[in-house]
Structure 1
Amino acid sequence: MNITIIAVGKIKESYLREGIKEYEKRLKPYCTLRIIEVDEERAPDNPSPAQKERVLKREGELILAKIPRQGFKIALCIEGERFSSEGMAEKVKDLVLYGISDITFVIGGSLGLSDEVKKTCDMRLSFSDFTLPHQLMRLLLLEQIYRWFKIIRGETYHK
């Protein structure tokens, strides 16, 4: 299984970098993991609709240039489908059964993802109605991917 995460921005906080490294290490027996970072566009604290659209468009262009044509693509966004960990593990298992060995997850910047990126993806996934920092989202996603593989293989993992 090949997992790619395309994410806007660099991880600035050391505690997040450490957590990400830990899950990258834990995932090695389960998949080949690749994380691609694209530049985050600067936006004012309270962007106008036009400024927001400009940022989303530019970040979207950078993301679209990195999204592979093959495989299954999942946009992480608040309006996406929700699953339990077990339900998403089943979804990943089904993708493998259908012969899909490449899954790409896309994490937007502080303003989210452009409509073009969302349209390019095969699925939209929501972790919560809460607004979560996009840097923290990368760590949360890695933890869940690890959990999904543990569930698929019937291995124990703390609850």
Structure 2
Amino acid sequence: DLLGYRLRYGVKDTVLNEMILQVTSHKITQLERGVEYEFRVAGQNHIGFGQETIKYLLTPEGMPAAPPANITHRFQTPDVVCIQWDPPPRPKRNGQIVRYDVQFQKKLDQTTVIDRNTTHTKAVFSNLEEASEYVFRVRAHTKSGSGPWSEKSVITTERDMVRA
């Protein structure tokens, strides 16, 4: 006699959740978007569990639900800054990140915004003016579209820059 089923599931190549069921269907909610899941089902009788059936399912992608994380900057020279970041946290990526947008501008000049896109997690901006404030922000994209912008960050260049 069939006593029930063991269902094991989770993101592929991670530790799987396990549950014992007496029914032949079960709804699983709150799956991440754009992620490959592994599902394993085995029947149980008085001897134990049988061989598992394994299925893989790729959930549909969505737009990132969070901006890039851990945004930092460092000056490479007094007039060149490198901005770096990490992708959004995995549960908020909603798929494969295909590119990033970076907006960079002088704080007091709203008319000259530099828009740059990159597949890397950094961007370099050069020819900065001395004793000036610059503002930048970053967002991530999946194939489904763009996520939210990060908070704006402000950097200040030094006075009396000596150019190399």
Higher strand share: 2
TM-score over 0.5 for the pair: no
Higher helix share: 1
Greater Rg by CA: 2
